[in-house]
A and B are shown apart, each in its own frame.
Chain A
Amino acid sequence: MSIIYFLIGCSVLLALLFLGAFFWAQRTGQNDDLYTPSMRVLLEDEQPEEKESDRNHF
């Protein structure tokens, strides 16, 4: 049963890792704007490459 000491150590370490990741995300401003990205994904990227391919045909 002593393995529990080790397991708890592992789980706490893992949890701390996630906490650290959250802090990092917070510091770098990833949670500053939670609304705009949801709109951004709906916009299509236009393909400027199309023109280049047109050019290749000539």
Chain B
Amino acid sequence: MTGTKPAVKINCYHCGDICETNLYLADNKQFCCQGCQNVYQILSVSGLCSYYQYNDHPGATRGKLDKRFEYLEEPSIVDELLDFHDDRISIITLYIPHIHCSSCLWLLEQLNRFDPGVHYARVDFLKKQLVVRFDHQKISLRGVVELLFNIGYEPLISLQDIIKKQQKAEKGNLVQRIAVAGFCFGNVMLLSFPEYLGLSVFEQTFRHFFGYINLAFTLPVVFFSGREYFTSAWNNLRKKVLNIDFPLALGIAVLFIRTAAEVLTQTGAGFADTLCGLVFFLLVGKFVQQKTYHHISFERDYRSFFPVAVQTLENGVEKPLPLSELRPGHRILIRHNEIIPADAILLKGQALIDFSFVTGESVPVGKTLGEIIYAGGRQTSESVELEVIKPVSQSYLTQLWNNEAFTRKQDNRMRTFNETVSKYFTVVLVVIALSALLAWVFTDLRRGIDAFTAVLIVACPCALALSTPFTMSAALSIFDRNLFYLKNTAVVEELAKIDTIVLDKTGTITTGNGRNAELQSQLSEEQVRLIYSACANSMHPLSRMICRYFGEQERLPVNDYTEAPGQGITARVNGRELRIGSGKLLFGNYHEAADMTRVQLMIDGQYLGYFGFKHEYRQGMDQVSALEPAYQLFLLSGDQDQERSELLRFFRDSNRMLFGQSPQQKLNFIASVQQLGKKVMMLGDGLNDSGALRQSDLGVAVTDNVNNFSPGSDAILDGRSFDKLPTFLRFSKDTVVIIHLSFLISLTYNIIGLTYAVTGKLSPLIAAVLMPLSTATIISFTTLATHFTAKRRKLL
């Protein structure tokens, strides 16, 4: 028998993880670890246990207990972090990744009940931000952050918070411009009614009065709301680019000039309502396009991976030092779960470094004294002392990031359908307008000018400018719902053009930490208990997986416990001697089999067999490999080729798989494929992929936790939706078809309008009906069609 007994799985009351021991009990509730129990006790002392009523297991697991926030006392750092402070109160905005349910919202807004120094706390749920206003004479910033940490909501304070500040203010302005345009549009519509319905001769004075008011309303619309179209068109024209803003600006200008001329000469009513409506709808379209999902940050560089400060040792005294002041020669102390910020030499302690940020591989690597540890690794065992050998800005990681090839200009990488079409559109439009003018100018000058302006008014590509943003934002929200987060609307079109897919291996097509544990041994129940008791002492991921494999067992007393990094555990349990770990630890000299990671088991010198840990491929790998005839699939891995034969079932042939690739080689490979005229999508997860992600036409970061760090990319794919990748590709193609169709519809309207326009007989009434009608059709068509196709693709 394998020695596993059907243990009853109990979920932690706080975080919902499976409890591996029954050590942590409080108020008849079981917890998975000391951390979760502590949080529960803090909450129950403050009478805040309603936290658990709103949701089951709302908390986050708390593997780590100690966390140092001394650096938050450093005045220079505090000043950078605070939004506002005077002599009494301070206000800070903190990013808290764990905010995920109404319990979190409730608890965080009750922060003042933990400490009277906190005046108030407000959560922004979508942005996962907490604004705290506190009295810094009663509680320091460090106190606030420690309080949050203690109740299980650790704020994420990274170097990026300090370096880049304030990036909004743009959007607010757009909303105001929409408000002004909408306001004027409404009033002008009202005042144009008499014009539509006709006025008797007796009431002609009103006609002029309404005309002047309408003209007055168009002024803010053109010069405040629509100003950006003129500046944009002018800037593009100087760069010799014809984009869609040019015909729009032309249309707005013509509408305004003609309205002003007709009103001032009292020859007509002009097109004030069309003008206001046009600008209003255009701005709404722009707003829809801008309203992408800001709760995930796509623009990340190495700074967002690094902490703000690091503990340095000077003559045996610990002192927090801002990262920017870290110099070679400094001795630094890296504790459990902290990130090594600069390349350094290990001086003291057992280093077990998790390089998953850098390579995607999450099994920690042991390092021996004197070895160089590159920046970006996370220490997973006890605290270590290191000596910095390179400043942060010159470390391997940072150099990788700042490499010229990695930071190439992103401008004009994605050329949308809209941009391509509008170039030709503008040319055709101007040609038609000029020929209409020429056709009439010799017979009837006035009619010629009328025709010329009317063409420009009617053909103004309002619908064209609207179809893309509305379709794309509908598509974007559908992707969002399916856990595929795109940076902006242009990415959807890019997705549709892809014909080559390059996959990274570790962490991308294999799941991050969920490996299959397989016991190749026959163990008695007693042996299971012995091994379980020894492994339960270790925080090593493989030990945790062994414990999970056995389920809950009785824990026996453990003596003489030692854990050699990268090797394994030796311990005396119940008087028996246990060795669990690599072959090297058990047999001295041993050649490890390459096909899988093995944890060997030995009790009292008797070899019992091993645990095999195989990479688990992501669900849906079969679906992805089924894309093959339509898309070319490549594998690009930094690892050695141990799994080549196993991966062959996913990839067409061995030549499609490249192993042992450095970050630069990955980038070069992508570039070489692109030179063959291919559109490449790269899927990766570690920092070592970041160069390739940027080089590719579409870089997708695959991650198991969207709020974790992942490299800068065009899109972020949640690992759970990996199997939907083929559907996403198909849906993106559908979306592009919808855009083309809506373009056709808008073209039809334009042709109808133009037939009126070239004759010079465009009345304000026709313009006023035709323009909003086309806009309404386009918007409803794109929205409905997108939802319909999403349903058909089973994405809704």
Residues of A within 8 A of B (CB): 1, 4-5, 8, 11-12, 15-16, 18-19, 22-23, 26, 31-33, 35-36, 39-40, 42-44, 46, 48
Contact for A8 among B123, B127, B191, CB less than 8 A:
B191
Q: Which A residues lie within 8 Å of B109 (CB)? A: 40
Instruction: Take A33-B126, A36-B126 as given contacts and tell me if A15 and B176 are in contact as well, using a CB distance cutoff of 8 Å.
Output: no
Cross-chain pairs A/B with CB under 8 angstroms, 6 sampled: A1-B203, A8-B213, A19-B179, A23-B179, A33-B125, A43-B106
Give the Cβ gap from A12 to chain B, nearest Cβ, in Å.
6
Q: Which residue of B lies closest to A18 (CB)?
A: B183
* Distance in angstroms between the alpha carbons of A12 and B188 in the assembled complex: 11
Contact for A39 among B122, B125, B172, B209, CB less than 8 A:
B125
* Distance in angstroms between the alpha carbons of A23 and B125 in the assembled complex: 24
Q: In the bound complex, do residue B124 and residue A26 qualify as a contact, i.e. CB atoms below 8 Å apart?
A: no
Q: Which residue of A lies closest to B48 (CB)?
A: A46
Q: In the bound complex, do residue A26 and residue B175 qualify as a contact, i.e. CB atoms below 8 Å apart?
A: yes
Q: Is B54 an interface residue (CB 8 A)?
A: yes
Q: In the bound complex, do residue B105 and residue A40 qualify as a contact, i.e. CB atoms below 8 Å apart?
A: yes
Q: In the bound complex, do residue B124 and residue A15 qualify as a contact, i.e. CB atoms below 8 Å apart?
A: no
Q: In the bound complex, do residue A36 and residue B105 qualify as a contact, i.e. CB atoms below 8 Å apart?
A: yes
Give the Cβ gap from B408 to chain A, nearest Cβ, in Å.
35
Q: In the bound complex, do residue A12 and residue B54 qualify as a contact, i.e. CB atoms below 8 Å apart?
A: no
Q: In the bound complex, do residue B124 and residue A33 qualify as a contact, i.e. CB atoms below 8 Å apart?
A: yes
Q: Is B157 an interface residue (CB 8 A)?
A: no
Instruction: Take A8-B213, A15-B183 as given contacts and tell me if A35 and B125 are in contact as well, using a CB distance cutoff of 8 Å.
Output: yes
Q: Which A residues lie within 8 Å of B266 (CB)? A: none
Q: Is B102 an interface residue (CB 8 A)?
A: yes
Q: Is B399 an interface residue (CB 8 A)?
A: no
Q: In the bound complex, do residue A39 and residue B102 qualify as a contact, i.e. CB atoms below 8 Å apart?
A: yes
Q: Is B541 an interface residue (CB 8 A)?
A: no
Q: Which residue of B lies closest to A23 (CB)?
A: B176
Q: In the bound complex, do residue B179 and residue A39 qualify as a contact, i.e. CB atoms below 8 Å apart?
A: no
Task: Mark B182-218 against chain A: 1 for CB-CB distance below 8 A, else 0.
Answer: 0100110011000000000001001001000100000
Give the Cβ gap from A10 to chain B, nearest Cβ, in Å.
12
Q: Which B residues lie within 8 Å of A44 (CB)? A: 50
Q: Which A residues lie within 8 Å of B176 (CB)? A: 23, 26
Give the Cβ gap from B201 to chain A, nearest Cβ, in Å.
14
Residues of B within 8 A of A (CB): 47, 50, 54, 102, 105-106, 109, 122-127, 172, 175-176, 179-180, 183, 186-187, 190-191, 203, 206, 209, 213
Give the Cβ gap from B106 to chain A, nearest Cβ, in Å.
5
Instruction: Take A23-B179, A36-B124, A36-B126 as given contacts and tell me if A15 and B186 are in contact as well, using a CB distance cutoff of 8 Å.
Output: yes
Contact for B125 among A16, A31, A36, CB less than 8 A:
A36
Q: Which B residues lie within 8 Å of A39 (CB)? A: 102, 105, 125
* Distance in angstroms between the alpha carbons of A32 and B123 in the assembled complex: 12
Contact for A43 among B102, B179, B206, CB less than 8 A:
B102
* Distance in angstroms between the alpha carbons of A35 and B106 in the assembled complex: 14
Q: Which residue of A lies closest to B106 (CB)?
A: A43
Q: In the bound complex, do residue A22 and residue B179 qualify as a contact, i.e. CB atoms below 8 Å apart?
A: yes
Q: Which B residues lie within 8 Å of A35 (CB)? A: 125-126
Q: In the bound complex, do residue A31 and residue B106 qualify as a contact, i.e. CB atoms below 8 Å apart?
A: no
* Distance in angstroms between the alpha carbons of A5 and B180 in the assembled complex: 23
Q: Which B residues lie within 8 Å of A12 (CB)? A: 187, 213
Contact for B206 among A4, A31, A40, CB less than 8 A:
A4
A-B contact sample (18 more), CB < 8 A, given A43-B102, A43-B106: A5-B209, A12-B213, A15-B187, A16-B183, A23-B176, A23-B179, A26-B172, A31-B175, A32-B124, A36-B105, A36-B123, A36-B124, A36-B126, A40-B105, A40-B109, A43-B105, A44-B50, A46-B50
* Interface pairs A-B: 10 shortest CB-CB: A36-B125, A33-B124, A43-B106, A19-B183, A35-B126, A39-B102, A22-B179, A35-B125, A39-B105, A36-B123
Q: Which A residues lie within 8 Å of B187 (CB)? A: 11-12, 15
Q: Which A residues lie within 8 Å of B127 (CB)? A: 33
* Distance in angstroms between the alpha carbons of A44 and B124 in the assembled complex: 18
Give the Cβ gap from A23 to chain B, nearest Cβ, in Å.
6
Q: Which B residues lie within 8 Å of A43 (CB)? A: 54, 102, 105-106
Give the Cβ gap from A30 to chain B, nearest Cβ, in Å.
12
Q: Which B residues lie within 8 Å of A48 (CB)? A: 47
Q: Which A residues lie within 8 Å of B203 (CB)? A: 1
Q: Which A residues lie within 8 Å of B123 (CB)? A: 36
* Distance in angstroms between the alpha carbons of A6 and B179 in the assembled complex: 25
Q: Which residue of B lies closest to A31 (CB)?
A: B175
Give the Cβ gap from B155 to chain A, nearest Cβ, in Å.
17
Give the Cβ gap from A39 to chain B, nearest Cβ, in Å.
5
Q: Give the interface centre of A4, A16, A31 by most chain B CB atoms within 10 Å.
A: A4
* Distance in angstroms between the alpha carbons of A1 and B124 in the assembled complex: 53
Q: Which residue of B lies closest to A27 (CB)?
A: B172
* Distance in angstroms between the alpha carbons of A2 and B179 in the assembled complex: 30
Q: In the bound complex, do residue B180 and residue A42 qualify as a contact, i.e. CB atoms below 8 Å apart?
A: no
Q: Which B residues lie within 8 Å of A42 (CB)? A: 102
Give the Cβ gap from A14 to chain B, nearest Cβ, in Å.
11
Q: Which A residues lie within 8 Å of B209 (CB)? A: 5
* Distance in angstroms between the alpha carbons of A42 and B206 in the assembled complex: 53
Q: Which A residues lie within 8 Å of B186 (CB)? A: 15
* Distance in angstroms between the alpha carbons of A24 and B205 in the assembled complex: 37
* Distance in angstroms between the alpha carbons of A5 and B109 in the assembled complex: 52
Give the Cβ gap from B17 to chain A, nearest Cβ, in Å.
25
* Distance in angstroms between the alpha carbons of A4 and B206 in the assembled complex: 9
Q: Which A residues lie within 8 Å of B183 (CB)? A: 15-16, 18-19
Q: Which residue of A lies closest to B180 (CB)?
A: A19
* Distance in angstroms between the alpha carbons of A1 and B204 in the assembled complex: 12
* Distance in angstroms between the alpha carbons of A36 and B180 in the assembled complex: 27
Give the Cβ gap from A15 to chain B, nearest Cβ, in Å.
6
* Distance in angstroms between the alpha carbons of A39 and B183 in the assembled complex: 31
* Distance in angstroms between the alpha carbons of A19 and B180 in the assembled complex: 7
Q: Which A residues lie within 8 Å of B206 (CB)? A: 1, 4
